């Protein structure tokens, strides 16, 4: 197995190296050092307007160039390039030439697709990932300047609705609409002017795994702008389902948009993104919602009802924050936001504010003479990164200064700081990429929404798997060496159909809770649960869980189990008398079982929890989450992998203990047991937990305290196959 993994890794590295050779190094780039900051600078001028926070795609840090609209098509050197900073050789490359865009790209890891909305050179370009070769172009009828959000393998985005002739003379119904596009380029749903919606979607949509949240700007229709007599969802927050049915909206101040009395961009648009945190939403506006010269950050509930608001003085001819800035949210639910306000001399200053869900506000930092237009980035559950003109500060979550860096130039920072493998990357408006090593920062920790677009894939999805590989970078709080990893195996037991039907909504609630805490669950499906999935039309839900980083695994009860599922390679072992006599009939071999289970997983089933492994272990299944002995034991809470053979197949076993499962009696572990194990775990030990139907039916309230404990100890829960493949 290790030899196979080595071969695969070597093949991947060689392939990556070959892919890198296909790209052109950015010959115009220069490289320098400013104190502790390394930087890459491209030729620039006053038109350069780089706004997109980078994402990580394989070995690339990816971001597009962009220039101000008023500068025209050819506003600056290298203004139509998609850049890739190679994380291995430290060089800048031109990944794509001939288009430019303002917004963050989105990487659908499961489908190997990267989406780029462009303002010149097309509408939407889709790349194959991680090699970043063009897959296709999708024609939307209008350009787009906001990022897609990814939900169940679909990219959701909105188009622009500017005053230009291309949108308004004549009225172009494709301007100001919502669109859903799959990785094959098919437009699945759209919602626009013909449906009573028309707004500039410069704000990037987000989602919580079920619902989408949109922010909008001007609802211009032909010559009409700012004189709102009808509501087309302009300058609002909108909640939709996955089929783009509008469920609710929030429109503070005047109906739709409020027009300020000066020329230029003067509407009260929603900034950046609407940020879901699992219990509510954070919404920041770029400008005032009415004649009062005050800008606001709003706290909404999930039905878009206002809970409270935070007020900030506003200076005319400015913005309260950047178009691509929004609050971020720590593990405790506190939001952090950048706000630009006038100072006592009628100049500006940048603020970093901390906002509690209970509507309390604290100013953590002030920077005189500077804009604050970049989303704060949260690190290691201890720090907040605050970028202003030519400067990056690292502060504690209470505002105490930790480190202060001077960047490559004095240019503004409109993109948000990015953390990857302990390195901080800060992109400035003039195109300078700053690289900061040895800062002491490791990663995003367990923050609910740590950076703009949530994660380094730019998914804009609450609970999406992060690519920074850093949520578990810190050791347990009391200094233990482990665990090396942790997993939660969920036994979806062999139960009758009516019981499965009753439990299904609880399973969906459990998965939503797991996503909120970024817990990746190993869902071990039995045949009865699989049958319910097929008959009830919820296969897309299961596959969406898998696409979100969870694992679809097998749970099998063989003939020696009281609740036999009907499949075995040893039909002679089926019991027909005594307490263990089974009611189930013989349905087929284990090959028949795996064929029945196969539609559940798009990636293939590679781990299991089961009985009768010596006769029934399936071909192709590599990992066994089980008990170390004949019966469950609390001692299995911590274990190390064991290589063995079952039914002639090589298997890696890892052990687990039932969490608060009543019928296990003293063999079940409690929250206190888990806490003790976290402190005593060795560096090579894995923490393994089992849930089953009883957990969600009788002990649902005990789940979140466990997830909170794991988060507080910086333990990232991964799937069995992920952990064992990486061991």
User: Over the stretch 204-222, which tens digit does the pLDDT of each residue have?
Assistant: 999 998 999 999 999 999 8
Confidence band for 582, pLDDT divided at 50, 70 and 90? low
Mean pLDDT of 645-655: 94
SS3 187: strand
pLDDT at 623: 96
> What's the confidence (pLDDT) of residue 20?
42
Which of these ranges, 47-61, 87-101, 181-195, 573-587, has the smallest mean pLDDT? 573-587
Tell me the mean pLDDT in the region 500-513.
Answer: 92
Segment 369-397, tens digit of pLDDT: 898 999 999 999 999 999 999 999 999 99
Q: Name the E strands within 35-192.
A: 37-41, 55-57, 60-64, 81-86, 92-97, 106-108, 113-117, 124-128, 133-138, 149-151, 154-158, 178-182, 187-191
In this predicted structure, what is the pLDDT of residue 11? 38
The Cβ of residue 495 has, within 10 Å, a number of other Cβ atoms equal to 18
Report, as an integer, the average pLDDT of 639-652: 94
pLDDT band at 227 (very low <50, low <70, confident <90, very high): low
Q: Say how far apart CA 63 and CA 454 lie, in whole Å.
A: 16
**Quick one: average pLDDT of 557-586?**
79
- Average pLDDT of the residues of the chain: 89
SS3 label, residue 719: coil
- Sign, Cα dihedral of 496, 498, 500, 506: negative
- CATH number belonging to domain 485-725: 3.20.110.20
pLDDT value at residue 546: 94
Percentage of the chain beyond pLDDT 70 is 92
Q: How confident is the model at residue 516, as a pLDDT?
A: 86
The whole model's pTM is what? Answer: 0.67
**pLDDT at position 69, please?**
79
Collapsing DSSP to helix, strand or coil, 613 comes out as: helix
pLDDT above 50 for 712: yes
According to CATH, what is the number of the domain 22-436? 2.130.10.10
Q: Which residues pair with 329 in a beta bridge?
A: 335, 449
Report, in angstroms and rounded to the nearest whole number, the Rg of the chain calculated over CA atoms: 27
The ranges assigned to domains in the chain are 22-436, 485-725
State the SS3 of 482-504: CCCEEEEEEEECCCCHHHHHHHH
- Per-residue confidence (pLDDT) for residue 52, from 0 to 100: 96
Q: Categorize the per-residue pLDDT at 341 as very low, low, confident or very high, splitting at 50, 70 and 90.
A: very high
| 382 vs 582, residue with greater confidence | 382
Whether 326 contacts 282, CB under 8 Å: yes
pLDDT band at 317 (very low <50, low <70, confident <90, very high): low
């Amino acid at each position: 197995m290790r030899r196979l993994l080595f071969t695969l890794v070597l093949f991947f590295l060689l392939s990556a190296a070959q892919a890198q050779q296909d790209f052109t190094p950015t010959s115009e780039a220069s490289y320098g050092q400013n104190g502790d900051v390394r930087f890459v600078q491209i030729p620039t001028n006053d038109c350069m307007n780089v706004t997109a926070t980078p994402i990580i795609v394989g070995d690339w840090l990816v971001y597009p160039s962009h220039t101000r609209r008023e500068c025209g098509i050819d506003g600056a050197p290298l203004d139509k390039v998609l850049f890739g900073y190679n994380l291995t050789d430290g060089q800048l490359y031109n990944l794509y030439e001939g288009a430019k865009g303002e917004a963050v790209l989105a990487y659908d890891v499961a489908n190997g697709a990267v989406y780029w909305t462009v303002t010149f050179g097309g509408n939407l370009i889709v790349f194959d990932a991680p090699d970043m070769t063009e897959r296709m172009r999708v024609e939307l009828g209008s350009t787009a300047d906001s990022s897609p959000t990814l939900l169940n393998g679909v990219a959701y985005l909105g188009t622009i609705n500017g005053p230009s002739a291309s949108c308004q003379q004549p009225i172009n119904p494709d301007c100001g609409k919502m669109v859903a596009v799959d990785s094959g380029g098919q437009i699945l749903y759209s919602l626009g002017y013909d449906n009573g919606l028309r707004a500039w979607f410069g704000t990037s949509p987000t989602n919580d795994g079920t619902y989408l949240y949109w922010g909008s700007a001007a609802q211009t229709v032909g010559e009409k702008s700012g004189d709102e007599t009808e509501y087309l969802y302009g300058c609002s927050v909108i909640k939709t389902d996955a089929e783009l049915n509008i469920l609710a909206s929030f429109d503070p101040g005047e109906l739709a948009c409020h027009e300020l009395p000066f020329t230029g961009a003067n509407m009260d648009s929603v900034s950046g993104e609407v940020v879901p945190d699992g219990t509510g939403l954070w919404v920041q506006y770029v400008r005032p919602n009415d004649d009062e010269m005050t800008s606001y950050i709003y706290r909404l509930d999930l039905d878009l009802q206002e809970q409270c608001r935070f007020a900030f003085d506003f200076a005319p001819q400015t913005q309260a924050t950047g178009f691509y800035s929004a609050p971020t949210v720590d593990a405790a639910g506190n939001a952090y936001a950048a706000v630009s306000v006038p100072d006592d001399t009628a100049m500006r200053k940048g603020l970093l504010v901390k906002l509690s869900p209970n509507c309390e506000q604290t100013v953590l930092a002030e920077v005189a003479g500077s804009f604050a237009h970049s989303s704060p980035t949260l690190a290691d559950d201890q720090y907040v990164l605050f970028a202003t003109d030519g400067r990056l500060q690292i502060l504690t979550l209470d505002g105490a200064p930790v480190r202060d860096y001077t960047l490559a130039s004095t240019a503004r920072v409109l993109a948000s700081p990015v953390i990857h493998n302990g390195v901080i990357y800060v992109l400035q408006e003039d195109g300078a990429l700053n690289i900061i090593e040895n800062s002491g920062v490791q990663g995003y920790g367990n923050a609910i929404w740590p950076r703009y677009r949530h994660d380094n894939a730019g998914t804009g999805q609450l609970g999406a798997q992060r690519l920074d590989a850093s949520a578990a970078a810190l050791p347990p709080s009391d200094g233990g060496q482990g665990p090396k990893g942790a997993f939660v195996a969920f036994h979806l037991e062999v139960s009758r159909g009516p019981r499965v039907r009753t439990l299904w909504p609880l399973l969906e609630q459990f998965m939503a809770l797991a996503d909120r805490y970024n817990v990746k669950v190993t869902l071990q499906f039995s045949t009865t649960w699989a049958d319910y999935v097929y008959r009830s039309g919820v296969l897309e839900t299961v596959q969406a869980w898998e696409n979100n980083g969870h694992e679809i695994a097998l749970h099998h009860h063989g003939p020696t189990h009281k609740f036999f599922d009907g499949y075995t390679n040893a039909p002679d072992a089926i019991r027909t008398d005594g307490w263990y006599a089974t009611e189930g009939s013989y349905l087929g071999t284990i090959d028949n079982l795996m064929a029945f289970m196969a539609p559940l997983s798009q990636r293939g089933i590679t781990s299991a929890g089961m009985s009768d492994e010596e006769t029934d272990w399936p071909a192709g299944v590599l990992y066994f989450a089980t008990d170390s002995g004949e019966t469950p034991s609390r001692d299995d809470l911590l274990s190390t992998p064991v290589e063995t053979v079952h039914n002639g197949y090589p298997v890696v076993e890892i052990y687990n203990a039932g969490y608060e499962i009543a019928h296990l009696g003293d063999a079940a572990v409690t929250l206190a047991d888990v806490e003790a194990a976290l402190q005593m775990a060795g560096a090579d030990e894995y923490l393994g937990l089992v849930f089953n139907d009883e957990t969600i039916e009788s002990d649902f309230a005990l789940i979140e305290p466990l997830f909170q404990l794991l988060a507080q100890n910086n333990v990232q829960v991964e799937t069995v196959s992920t952990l064992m493949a990486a061991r």
